[in-house]
Structure 1
Amino acid sequence: MEDEFAIVRVPERNRFEMHEGDTIIGIAAYSLSGDRVTFTHTVMDDRYGGRGLGSRLAEFVLNDAAGSGKRIVPECSFISAYVRKHHDWDEYLESAGTESR
């Protein structure tokens, strides 16, 4: 059941965490610079693979960034691949070498 999974922002660790109960099963790490959020690393526990949870985490973090008015820099391979397949965030994307406008 999807309700058993929660995603929380942990700003003091510069990451989002996906939990099943008290267990961290995935993270999406980021760095902030001005109006940009750079997603640097995303990882899910292998035991939870194939259930769409990584995609759920990606969607959550991208919506959070866009909803906060941030430009999104998808440096990590997972988030980068996700935004290539899902274009809901195209207007918020920047490459790592692009200066914020």
Structure 2
Amino acid sequence: MSTDAPDPRLANITVAHAPDRHRYELRDGDTVIGFTQYRTRSGSDSRRVFVHTEVDPAYGGLGLAGRLVEFALDDVAAAGDRIVPVCPYVAKYLRTHHNYDHLVDWPEARQ
């Protein structure tokens, strides 16, 4: 027997930009349960270089990393900035979500 009841771990999940920490955060109530960290590069175009993403393993398998990254990328797009995916998770997400293609500056391969 299967159930379509929502996972109770999702009840209080929010996503927000924490610019003072240079990251976007997943929160369960007041507790940070995940984040995607970035550096800002200014120049002719402002770029957010995404360097690391993580979600508490207790919340694994709920699609929260994708929800977090989508929120972050939508925010970058709304600001008119460029995206540089150094973080492997952000890069993987962008390879399957092509609506951001026009904003992505892929980093050169490290040698």
- Normalization by structure 2: what TM-score? 0.83
Is 1:92 aligned with 2:103? yes
Report how far residue 96 of structure 1 moved. 2.3
Query: What are the Cα deviations for residues 21-67 of structure 1, in whole angstroms up to 9, with x where unaligned?
Result: 01111000000011111001000000101111111001000000011
Q: Structure 2 CA distance, aligned partners of 1:3 and 1:66?
A: 27
Residue 72 of structure 1 corresponds to: 83
Q: Which amino acid aligns with 2:74?
A: N
The structure-2 alpha-carbon separation of the partners of 1:91 and 1:6, relative to structure 1 and needing over 3 Å to count, comes to: same
Q: Structure 2 CA distance, aligned partners of 1:96 and 1:33?
A: 13
Residue 10 of structure 1 corresponds to: 18
Residue 56 of structure 1 corresponds to: 67
Residue 27 of structure 1 corresponds to: 35
SS of alignment partner, residue 89 of structure 1: helix
How many residue pairs get matched?
97
Unpaired runs of 5+ in structure 2? Answer: 1-5
Q: Which amino acid aligns with 1:67?
A: A
Unpaired runs of 5+ in structure 1? Answer: none
Residue 3 of structure 2 corresponds to: none
Report how far residue 3 of structure 1 moved. 5.2
Q: Which amino acid aligns with 2:21?
A: R
Report how far residue 12 of structure 1 moved. 1.3
Q: Whose radius of gyration is greater, 1 or 2?
A: 2
- Normalization by structure 1: what TM-score? 0.90
Q: How does 1:26-45 map to 2 (within 5 A)?
A: 26-34=34-42, 35-45=46-56
